[in-house]
Structure 1
Amino acid sequence: MAHHGEILQEAVKNSGISISRLVQELGITRPTIYRKFKETTLDYTFVKRVGELIQHDFTNDFDTPVQSQLHFTPAAVTPVAPVRSSVLHSVDQDCTKALMALQAKYIALLEAHNELLLKLYGPK
């Protein structure tokens, strides 16, 4: 099974873009890109940047889902003050929306996990 660096190297090779042009666009040196090709895991932002330059989507190329793709945003904490029931109803709706968004992200994470298990162990 190929690691991240090997997958990146293969995609760059298949893109037809020269290493010289790629390193120039990335603002790194040739030895740096060759070191990246040897790394087993790579930073998602680096892979995404290379993908943009060579016009390749790495979403399905890696075995593990990249957690930085899941944009979890912490809920803002507001001070509690006495409120009327109409305001409470509005707050309940906001909480429900936030909970539904979190549920959708959780389901997406579970699906990615299941895909990973299928890749690793295959169907039964």
Structure 2
Amino acid sequence: MEKHHGQIVEYRVRKNAYCISDLARACHINRRSIYNWFNSKRLKEEIILRIGLAIKHDFSHEFPEFFKNDDFSAIHQIQDAKTIYAGYDHNEHWKDKYLHLLQEYNDLILKDSYYL
């Protein structure tokens, strides 16, 4: 019987209680792509490796035909996605961006009204 790569990967992601949003962020893709991967019978080795590194799971046990144990040695060297984003306030970033754009807009309005 042939392996369903997406189901195996999804099982491991869910078993590790890893948030899909965090996984998507760590893989630099959107959540929909994650769900599409879960539904795929066959996944590229690069995708499985990327997910394994993101969730810190060694997929060489599930996919010995693709990986060796040392392929996932970087798991211990990379930071967890939650740690990367923990010190960064996303709301503050967007607030600053909004205020900056609002100021530029107001400056343009004043400039245009000056010429009227």
Give the TM-score of the pair, scaled to structure 1: 0.49
**Aligned counterpart, 2:39:** 38
RMSD: 1.9
**Aligned counterpart, 2:48:** 47
Query: Post-superposition shift, 1:45?
Result: 1.1
CA separation in 2, counterparts of 1:55 and 1:47?
12
**Aligned counterpart, 1:65:** 65
* Percent identical: 33
Structure 1 gaps, min length 5: 70-124
- Detail structure 1 runs of 4+ shifted over 4 Å in the superposition: none
Counterpart of 2:52 in 1: which secondary structure? helix
CA deviation string 1:63-114 (max 9, x = no partner): x712x86xxxxxxxxxxxxxxxxxxxxxxxxxxxxxxxxxxxxxxxxxxxxx
2:29 alignment partner AA: I
Give the length in aligned residue pairs: 67
CA deviation string 1:25-44 (max 9, x = no partner): 11111111101001111111
Structure 2 gaps, min length 5: 69-116
Counterpart of 2:60 in 1: which secondary structure? coil
**Structure with the larger RCO, 1 or 2 (CA within 8 Å, 6+ apart):** 1
Give the TM-score of the pair, scaled to structure 2: 0.52
2:8 alignment partner AA: I
